[in-house]
Chains A and B, each alone.
Chain A
Amino acid sequence: MFDLDRWREIFQSINKNRLRSVMSGFTVAFAILLFTLLFGVASGLGNFFKTAFADDAQNMMFVRVGKTTKPYKGLQRGRRVQLKNTDYNYITDEYADNIQYQTARIYKNFSIKHKNKANTYSVRAVHPDHQFLEKTIIDEGRYLNERDLKSKSKVIVIGRLIKKDLFGEKLALGKRVNVNGSSFLIIGIFSDEGGDNEERMAYMPITTAQMMYGNNDYINQINLGYNPDLSTDAAIAFGEKVERDMRKKLNIHPDDQSALSVRNMAEANKFVGVIMFALYLIIAFIGSGTLVAGIIGISNIMIFVIKERTKEFGIRKALGAKPSSIVGMVVQESVLITTLAGYAGLSLGTYILSLVGNSLEEQYFIKDPSVSPGIVISATIILIISGLIAGYVPAKRAAKIKPIVALRAD
């Protein structure tokens, strides 16, 4: 229903009454501005949460053990629970379908030495899947592989900062370092978004560590990446099942949290999701409330405008304007003002958010606050509908004006 003449009429009327049109658009512009800013801040918080956990894979689960605090099946409390390779294999066999990645971990603190430079670093002895669970980024060379594990090779992958400490700017890949007295070949250098601590770390094959340091099959921790196809709830249920089964297998009291715990990122994800949902709900509530106020504002001013233009509508009707043409004109004017004002608010809001950028990340945990194109599109639709609603009542009034009454109004 694009009617150039209609638009011409509307632009003429808006142009002749600029102040009035700006005033009526103001509330809507303000509502959308507020909504944009709030929404941007919320998405900024959301972005912060996301990157805060981005260091590790989102689908990570840790199985950790400690000392028992409750006696169980004739076993005394205070017993130290030890995970072994059999536990690792048990999980592989039992839950293969639900697992994307799996690795065991042994923690060691070793001095690593190259020529005359030496320092003590955390060393993790792991399986190759660890790379994906920790989101380790290989800068040079390669990560550990199955062959390294099978042959129990004395190879090591060092963090970017270890390389910097020991080698400076010189080439480190392919060089040998002394780890706790044994010579290891550097096969890779990595970086990690988790910060300096994660980059002052080294990885070696778990089999090598088990052979060299104790000659046993002990492991400290098992990390899993659950199948990403699982829903959050299914993933949480999976975590609970692993916890129950492992307790049974290791003879631990079902409620003994310190003896064995499974930390599941799915729970954290769910928690963040719930918080973000609540936040968006609040914002939607505030935003829509303000928008409703804006709509009522426009509607109110339009009613006043109709009153002011009673005579004009009377003349138009006397000259042959149909009621539908009057309704169309008023509604279209309302939609135009609402949409323009809304976009003004949206643009201003987006501009302010872009100025703010990441400056609030440190103090207020707001990262890259912005509104997505989806929001802009739905805002457009909402604005048009708002304009229709705001214009409807005044338009109906205008259409009801009787020409004789209007023409009498001098």
Chain B
Amino acid sequence: MAIYSFNYFRRKLTIQMIKIEKLHKSYPIGKDSLHVLKGIDLHIKEGEFVSIMGSSGSGKSTLLNIVGLLDEHDEGDYYLNGQLIKDLNEKKAAILRNKFLGFVFQSFNLISYKTALENVALPLYYKGMARKERLKIALEYLDKVELKDWANHLPNELSGGQKQRVAIARALVTNPKVVLADEPTGALDSTTTDNVMDLLKAINDEGMTVFVITHEEEVAEQTKRIVRLKDGIIISDTVTSVAKAV
């Protein structure tokens, strides 16, 4: 009984948001196959702010795609929020993505003919929320990224930094468990990079698990934990000074 309570509390305190064990992934290239991920073990707890570092070809994008349920792994286990991810069909994957994950991409990936507000509201549409309600919530999140005044502008009327903030609002609007950011500052200059990173930090401070992929040291250093990837394996996993300062 006592042991049960102890385990219960331990689990409660340290929920494994992302648990990856012995993960392998290969891509077929003609007759051969390219072994991209060669046995990754990675545990990320709720509320962490993790960056995956690595040069191109290190497998970091593949890892993000698998974590983001945009791609399937070949071997190993992947638990998202305690749920084993296995044999997902497209429909189930879509539902899980909508429920648990928020995406931020390097190229923003806003829908060009929709206004900032409509873009932010789109994940709520797929959640099945009524129009009035989702537009109201979307506006709140736009306010959070300080773009309320730009709600009715189309993406091509916004600057790069503004677009990425719209994308972040869109990632947050469903109140996901994890925000996945793939090179979120890759297309931004240094000032806007800082803005976006400050925003991600603020989100993390509110308790959101944030998972960033980057090849920029300055960006990685602003996260709390850096996982370095090389040729499909983790070569280092360190806690940064930011985390120690907190």
Q: Which of A28-36, A137-145, A321-329 contacts B (4 or more CB under 8 A)?
A: A321-329
Hey, which chain A residues are within 8 Å of B105, CB to CB? Answer: 407
Q: Decide if B94 touches A322 in the complex (CB within 8 Å).
A: yes
B192 contacts the other chain (CB 8 A): no
A311 contacts the other chain (CB 8 A): yes
Q: Decide if A319 touches B97 in the complex (CB within 8 Å).
A: yes
Q: Decide if A318 touches B70 in the complex (CB within 8 Å).
A: yes
Q: What total count of A-B pairs have CB within 8 Å?
A: 66
Residue on A nearest B128 in the bound complex, by CB: A5
A109 contacts the other chain (CB 8 A): no
What range describes how many residues of B lie at the interface?
20 to 34
List CB contacts (< 8 Å) of B69-95 with chain A.
Answer: 70-71, 90-91, 94-95
Residue on B nearest A315 in the bound complex, by CB: B109
How far, in angstroms, from A317 to B126 measured CA to CA in the complex?
9
A410 contacts the other chain (CB 8 A): yes
List CB contacts (< 8 Å) of A271-330 with chain B.
Answer: 311-312, 314-325
Q: Decide if B123 touches A311 in the complex (CB within 8 Å).
A: no
B153 contacts the other chain (CB 8 A): no
Given A318-B97, A320-B98, the answer on whether A5 and B125 have CB atoms closer than 8 Å is yes
How far, in angstroms, from A323 to B97 measured CA to CA in the complex?
13
Residue of B68, B98, B99 most packed against chain A (CB within 10 A): B98
Hey, which chain A residues are within 8 Å of B99, CB to CB? Answer: 320
How far, in angstroms, from A322 to B88 measured CA to CA in the complex?
13
Closest chain B CB from A123 CB (angstroms): 82
B22 contacts the other chain (CB 8 A): no
A13 contacts the other chain (CB 8 A): yes
Given A403-B70, A404-B70, A404-B71, the answer on whether A321 and B109 have CB atoms closer than 8 Å is no
Hey, which chain A residues are within 8 Å of B90, CB to CB? Answer: 317, 322-323, 399
Q: Decide if B70 touches A12 in the complex (CB within 8 Å).
A: no
Given A5-B131, A321-B126, A404-B71, the answer on whether A312 and B98 have CB atoms closer than 8 Å is no
Given A5-B125, A404-B65, the answer on whether A322 and B111 have CB atoms closer than 8 Å is no
How far, in angstroms, from A102 to B109 measured CA to CA in the complex?
85
Closest chain B CB from A118 CB (angstroms): 87
Given A16-B113, A410-B107, the answer on whether A320 and B123 have CB atoms closer than 8 Å is yes
Closest chain A CB from B171 CB (angstroms): 9
B179 contacts the other chain (CB 8 A): no
Hey, which chain A residues are within 8 Å of B98, CB to CB? Answer: 319-320
How far, in angstroms, from A404 to B174 measured CA to CA in the complex?
21
Residue on B nearest A16 in the bound complex, by CB: B113
Residue on A nearest B123 in the bound complex, by CB: A319
Q: Decide if B94 touches A320 in the complex (CB within 8 Å).
A: yes
Task: Provide a sorted-by-A list of 26 A–B residue pairs whose CB atoms are within 8 angstroms.
Answer: A4-B131, A5-B125, A5-B131, A12-B113, A12-B114, A312-B112, A314-B109, A316-B111, A318-B97, A319-B98, A319-B103, A319-B170, A320-B94, A320-B95, A320-B99, A320-B174, A322-B90, A322-B126, A323-B90, A323-B94, A325-B126, A399-B90, A402-B70, A402-B71, A404-B65, A407-B107
